[in-house]
Amino acid sequence: MSVIQKQPDEVLVGLTHDRFGDEKVFTVPAKYWCSKCDVVTQFNLRVKEPPQFSFQIRKALTEACGPTVPYETDYCDLLCHKCGQPIRVKYGQHEFAMSSYRYFPLGVYLYEAAL
């Protein structure tokens, strides 16, 4: 079992520059593209560790993506809706106005089950 890291541009659909910074931000809703299935899965930045994620999956993804910084970085989890591959997306958040945030992906981590 292993975790593969992808660049956000490789697997997240429709990332765009906004007017507040250099980082590309998520679309709303955010979308992940599975290269194995060639299907796009919408996901929610607030979802962490869905019930399908076993302890082993959570542990491997947490080790791969490293610690988060409160108020600066966070993560969310999803599964490809076709093959069920567990995915973690680490992202940064930036408050550009009072209580208004923008979110930009930092890394995408794909959990690969043992062959």
Assess 82 for contact with Zn ion (CB under 5 A): yes
Which one, 47 or 69, has the nearer CB to Zn ion?
Answer: 47
Query: Residue from 37, 40, 64, 106 that binds Zn ion (CB under 5 A)?
Result: 37
Please report how close the Cβ of residue 26 comes to Zn ion at its closest, in angstroms: 19
Please report how close the Cβ of residue 31 comes to Zn ion at its closest, in angstroms: 13
Contacts of 106 (CB under 8 A, 6+ apart): 8, 73, 90, 91, 92
Assess 83 for contact with Zn ion (CB under 5 A): yes
21/96 Cα distance (integer angstroms): 10
Q: Which amino acid is at 79?
A: L
Residue 102 Cα to chain centre, angstroms: 15
Interface contacts to Zn ion, rule CB under 5 A:
34, 36-37, 80, 82-83
